[in-house]
Amino acid sequence: MNYRHSFHAGNSADVVKHSLLIALVRALQQKPGALTLIDAHAGCGLYDLDGEQAQRTGEAAEGVRRALADPNPLLDDYRAAVAAVNTGTDRHLYPGSPRVLSQLLRPQDLLILNEKHPEDAMALRSAMRGTPAAVHERDAYELWLAMLPTKTPRGVVVVDPPYEQTDERARVTATLAAANRKWAHGVSVIWYPLKDRDTHVRWKQQLRRLGIPKMLTIEHWLYDYEQPGIYNGAGLFIVNPPYAFSQGLPDMLEALRAALAPEGHRGHLTADWLSA
């Protein structure tokens, strides 16, 4: 595996993903029942934006740096999550999904993290020291199914693969189908990159054929027209999002779009039901 998130930490995809994860979990926590939060591709947990790898790409400048400078109060929870891992006004550390999720835990909630890459798993354990998170070092798709149904009545599974392998989308599709058979009421969040529309349209058609009744697709196209052969944005598939989350989504998406639009582009950040 060559993909390392430390090169991409704090980019526009992270801003959208983590902002929406916070909103999703908070919506679920409007009910007092315990939640199990599972991150199947957890990464290192914490990243240094001043480090050599992050500086090599400079992607945080178009992501978290823009969000921190934007005045829209709808991004306050996201900015607070970033501030929580830093001291004073310094913002050189960036929380991956594990640290973001750990900040949201209530006493009754559980956090299960998984990272297959040995070096990143070691860094993850260090980053999560002092939290109640359980850390695994397993194949993400095997763990995804093994943890279902969750011990608590409700839960969220976050799936954030690197999409380096040619069969990655097929593995996500097959595992989601199996997970839905075991845990039809559970909430699943699947991140994906947007590189070309044709590939994405074909994948959505495959997912639609699974017949999952309630699947939301959120697409963030950074540019006003497709840029061939490069990263064009990212999105999320969310299975069984709670009503409170869906209700507040349009305003949140517009705030994120406005904050992250590259110079000279308006961009598009939309949400649609993949299946009715």
pLDDT at 276: 46
Q: Which domain holds residue 64?
A: 5-275
Give the pLDDT confidence score for residue 1 in this predicted structure.
36
Q: How far is CA 242 from CA 21, 135, 174, 214, 256, in A?
A: 12, 27, 24, 10, 20
How far does Cα 30 stand from its chain's mean position? Answer: 21
Instruction: For residue 136, give the CATH number of its domain.
Output: 3.40.50.150
* 48 classed as catalytic: no
Q: How many structural domains compose the chain?
A: 1
Q: What is the pLDDT tens value at each position of the chain, 276 positions in all?
A: 345 677 889 999 999 999 999 999 999 999 999 999 999 999 999 999 998 888 888 899 999 999 999 999 999 999 999 999 999 888 999 999 999 999 999 999 999 999 999 999 999 999 999 999 999 999 999 999 999 999 999 999 999 999 989 999 999 999 999 999 999 999 999 999 998 888 899 999 999 999 999 999 999 999 987 776 677 899 999 999 999 999 999 999 999 999 999 988 999 999 999 964
Cα angle 152-158-159, degrees, rounded to a multiple of 5: 135
Torsion 205-210-213-217 (CA) sign: negative
**Cα Rg of the chain, angstroms:** 17
One-letter amino acid at 172 equals V
Catalytic pick among 160, 167, 224, 272: 160
